[in-house]
A and B are shown apart, each in its own frame.
Chain A
């Protein structure tokens, strides 16, 4: 267990390190000038040179990179140009909003997609299941920005019952979380369906049924337990990727999370802010992924960490 844990931890750290390094290089290759985005419209060439020097942008990229690495170790990710405060603070100010949205979306997803998937598996290949199947396909075929705007039009414009933007009340969470969940429900319920269909027709279930186990227990205890690994893995992976910022949905609903922050940081060439956002979200996502992996043996006693399942 311990060596495996260390190995996985090492891999996670390496992934985050490579990600952040790639981003570091990419943003410095990109065109655009943070100083020009920072200064007023009347700034002279001389002013800009002074600003660049103040930001440390006149140093070589290698030097900047080393300073940045040193900063990571000391927990100092630099000062955001556009927010004029420590980049890490800005990200941490916004992170709770993204986490809330992700938690809400994954809750809705789980609550809807598991029963839906089970229902579809039990009625596999009937006309009604086909109908549900097509609905889930439609769900995964909608661009999320479009479904977001549509929900917004219906529930904030035509029947103004929910707030359109931001997070001033808990009601503001409903539309963005639903928008994120639509796609996830479509994907997860199809997964639940195929896993459950596989288990519902497995011999062990027939044996259990012949022993008089109730249909309900068959589905929810027997088949479900065995289907849970891929489903939980998928949910965990989805959750992890949401932590990277649900960029489009956050933009549509002016949600003050890290996704909309990233778009803005990119626009203003706010290097420290881009780096801090990527570092924090990538670290978080990798951690969640790691936790999901570590949860395997809890769900399936056959799994020993670090060893392949032979079953």
Chain B
């Protein structure tokens, strides 16, 4: 990204010596505001993420009824009744417990998918950017083709094909996400390839693959990894959409999408069955997105100020 920020230059120029710039001016300066903005985003993001992630991680330890433990006598209780913080569902199961246990799967799938798509994306993107030629043609064509594919439909098709197990769903989400990483890596490698150190390494007689692996990739991975959090957010959303459409692990296993799709049948009487699980997803995804956004802002600014 080549966004130019005139801010830092101005601050640097006014840095040394006595000047008319007071701390008040500095506080209002663009760079300060930007820094404050990104710090705010980071903190808000961290809080939102942890509010969801910590209870999800501790779901087994928390004093909650089991996610599949039914009590047919207390069906569809409103939140805050009889110790059910989120109320109960159509079979009298504790909704909070189901949401938290379901979250474990969503998070696990999300994390795994990001790792897999990251690996595929970096490998293919780097190869395309570095070697060019037919590899680049093939990868670029694949990237383009995927843009015009009916993506969600293909994913549903693959799930129908191999069955809705966690590895399949993870793989399917990774397939949906690798283009983003690949495109970014490819463009970064294209820039990096032309730098003098690569030429130097080549003159030293290093193998091309060795240059790519040992010199180019380490310089690229850090920047490419900035999209990880954004991908995680997308993966969580995609997983919930798939399970909403019925492509989730076998019942009675709770997943976020399924809890909401079950609750949809009761929207006229039991608002919490859709609203609360949805809010949990939103909190997590907003948090992760804010974190990712904040980190990216910071990295971008650092890059600008060092260049």
Contact = CB atoms under 8 A, between A and B. Distances in A.
Interaction A to B: yes
Interface of A: 11, 15-16, 18-19, 22-23, 26-27, 29-32, 124-126, 130, 133-134, 137-138, 140-146, 149-150, 152-153, 157, 194, 197-198, 201-202, 237, 240-241, 244-245, 247-248, 251, 262-263, 266, 274, 277-278, 281-282, 285-286, 289
A211 B232 CA distance: 48
Contact of A286 (B3, B148, B241, B261): B148
A82 to B, nearest CB: 16
Among all A-B residue pairs, the 7 with the closest Cβ atoms: A141-B285, A146-B278, A244-B150, A30-B161, A141-B286, A125-B33, A285-B148
A248 to B, nearest CB: 6
B156 interface: yes
Nearest to B150: A244
Interface string B251-274: 000000100110010011001001
B241 A144 contact: yes
B193 interface: no
Contacts of A130: 37, 40-41
A155 to B, nearest CB: 12
Given A26-B161, A29-B161, A137 B293 contact: yes
Contacts of B240: 143, 145-146
A32 B148 CA distance: 27
Interface of B: 3-6, 30, 33-34, 37, 40-41, 44, 141, 144-145, 147-154, 156-158, 160-161, 163, 233, 237, 240-241, 244-245, 257, 260-261, 264, 267-268, 271, 274-275, 278, 281-282, 285-286, 289-290, 293
A146 B145 contact: no
Contacts of A124: 30
A153 B267 contact: yes
Contacts of B268: 157
B3 A143 contact: no
B153 A245 contact: yes
Nearest to B142: A18
B274 A150 contact: yes
14 contacts: A19-B148, A31-B160, A130-B41, A134-B41, A143-B281, A146-B260, A146-B281, A146-B282, A150-B278, A153-B274, A197-B3, A201-B5, A237-B147, A245-B153
Given A143-B240, A245-B152, A278-B153, 6 more contacts: A143-B241, A145-B240, A149-B274, A248-B241, A248-B245, A262-B153
Contacts of A32: 160
Contact of A141 (B151, B244, B282): B282
B278 A143 contact: yes
A18 B37 contact: no
Contacts of B154: 22-23, 26
Task: Find the residue from B34, B44, B153, B160 having the highest chain A CB count within 10 A.
Answer: B153
Contacts of B145: 15, 18-19
Nearest to A278: B150
Contact of A19 (B4, B149, B275, B285): B149
A245 B4 contact: no
B81 to A, nearest CB: 21
B161 A244 contact: no
Contact of A244 (B144, B151, B278): B151
Contacts of B141: 11, 15
